[in-house]
Amino acid sequence: MVRKFAGVGLKDHTAQPDMARLRGYRLARFQAELRRLDYAGAVLFDPVNLRYATGSRNMAVWILHNPARYGFVPAEGKAVIFDFHGCGHLSDGIETIGEARPARSWFFFPAGNRMQERAELWAEEIAQLVRERCGANRRIAVDRLDPPGLRALEKRGIEVFDAQEPCELARAIKSPDEIACMVQAIAVCEAGIAAMREALKPGITENALWALLHEVNIRLDGEWIETRLLSSGPRTNPWFQECGDRVIRAGELVAFDTDLIGPFGYCADISRTFFCGPGRASERQRRHYALAVEQIEHNMALIRPGLGFREMSEIAWKIPDAYVANRYSSLVHGVGLCDEWPKVVHREDVARSAYDGEFQENMTVCVESYIGEQGGPDGVKLEQQVVVTATGCELLSSFPFDEDLYG
């Protein structure tokens, strides 16, 4: 069953999340996954994983490509944050963190030809923590690790495993506090979408329209946007074209995918397609929009706890042959602090990339559609964000479909 998420407008103002409770829930889920896999702990460099497990953040986008901040999370007990120079105070008062230390950065930018020397010092500190905090267990999960660090840990008897599995599986099931955070991020995102819709007139550029989403997000305490997926007119087909300085004209479609990291670090991943007036949308544009809505609504109605990902692929809305070649990359994907596990693929892609798993209550996922003929003049992109409930799913996103295209 699909129904509108109850009380979204009220929730934005009254159901504020308890951040200490949220942090405790997330750390407990991650540590349970570490214990399930018999890992003594984890070293996390990815700022999304680190924030999930500890609640601490710092320069997330910069840290994504400069591993100058990391954390050690034992399977039991509090985390140790290794922060950028002079930033240890940023974790003050966070109850999931027992200690903040200066990071030992050993990637090439700060280390140069001393990389291996500094990697050895880094590995010795991590190994000492494992000896102190983890008993005899030497199995450590790491999410990002360059070869010098890997070799240095292995030299010290540390067995290194991939941390992404426990991170992603822990993140998949949301607490009520997490859903409250996500609803607020969506509210900010939809305020940005409304600003874009109001500003959409012939003569505005794609970049100017996209800038409005950034401006609203930052002004309302959001954080960043992960892509530049807005295109207009003939650039809407094929999909995945980044916005540029193209001037939008009357009678064209404008399609976008928000990929917005809003307040509390939660993702609002919503896609809409607008018609730029004045005038009336063509019959082709309206037909494609109706097909995209049909695909989204059909597939949302299937989602329920216990439904397997492969089964979903087989029973999903059948894309008409004319649109198969340009199908979107997934039917459904998880969403939390960013896009995440699981990814459910089209039936055409099962043999190549499907994997096992099933929907569970309190997963939050996005349901996707792209409708555009190969070589066609334009295309329609839609996406809804939902939470899986005991009986089906409920909408979290609420921005209406375009009345000029679907009424």
pLDDT band at 372 (very low <50, low <70, confident <90, very high): very high
Pairing of strands 260-261, 2-4: unpaired
Residue 4 has a pLDDT of: 43
pLDDT at 10 exceeding the cut of 80: no
**C-alpha torsion angle, residues 47, 51, 52, 53 (rounded to 10):** 100
Q: Which of 179, 352, 172, 335 is nearest to 257 (CA)?
A: 335
Does residue 238 have a cis peptide bond before it, meaning omega lies within 30 degrees of 0?
yes
CATH number for region 17-171 = 3.40.350.10
Under DSSP, the state recorded for 175 is P
Q: Kindly report, residue by residue over 201-250, the tens digit of the pLDDT.
A: 999 999 999 999 999 999 999 999 999 999 999 999 999 999 999 999 99
Distance CA 106, CA 124 (A): 13
Domain boundaries, the chain: 17-171, 176-395
Distance CA 288, CA 43 (A): 47
**Mean of pLDDT values over 381-391:** 98
Q: Kindly report, residue by residue over 156-189, the tens digit of the pLDDT.
A: 999 999 999 999 999 999 999 999 999 999 999 9
Q: What SS3 class is residue 63?
A: helix
Q: Which of 350, 282, 288 is nearest to 316 (CA)?
A: 350
Q: Kindly report, residue by residue over 273-284, the tens digit of the pLDDT.
A: 999 999 999 999
C-alpha distances out from residue 173 to 50, 52, 92, 229, 301, Å: 17, 12, 27, 27, 20
Using the structure block, give the residue that is written with the tokens 């996500």: 182
The answer to whether 118 and 104 have CB atoms below 8 angstroms apart is yes
pLDDT at 332 exceeding the cut of 80: yes
pLDDT band at 381 (very low <50, low <70, confident <90, very high): very high
pLDDT band at 16 (very low <50, low <70, confident <90, very high): confident
Residue 1 has a pLDDT of: 45
Percent of the chain beyond pLDDT 70?
A: 96
Residue 258 makes CB contacts below 8 A (sequence gap 6+) with 189, 192, 193, 213, 225, 268, 269, 270, 271
Distance CA 75, CA 89 (A): 24
Distance CA 376, CA 323 (A): 10
The answer to whether 237 and 325 have CB atoms below 8 angstroms apart is no
Instruction: Please report the sign of the dihedral spanned by the C-alpha atoms of residue 71, residue 221, residue 59, residue 83.
Output: negative
**Mean of pLDDT values over 309-316:** 98
Q: Kindly report, residue by residue over 113-142, the tens digit of the pLDDT.
A: 999 999 999 999 999 999 999 999 999 999
Q: Which of 301, 305, 307 is nearest to 360 (CA)?
A: 305
Domain 176-395 = CATH 3.30.70.240:
no
Structure tokens at 164: 């992404």
Residue 14 has a pLDDT of: 52
The pTM assigned to this predicted structure is 0.94
The answer to whether 300 and 378 have CB atoms below 8 angstroms apart is no
The answer to whether 270 and 385 have CB atoms below 8 angstroms apart is yes
Distance CA 300, CA 1 (A): 8
**C-alpha torsion angle, residues 129, 135, 139, 145 (rounded to 10):** 0
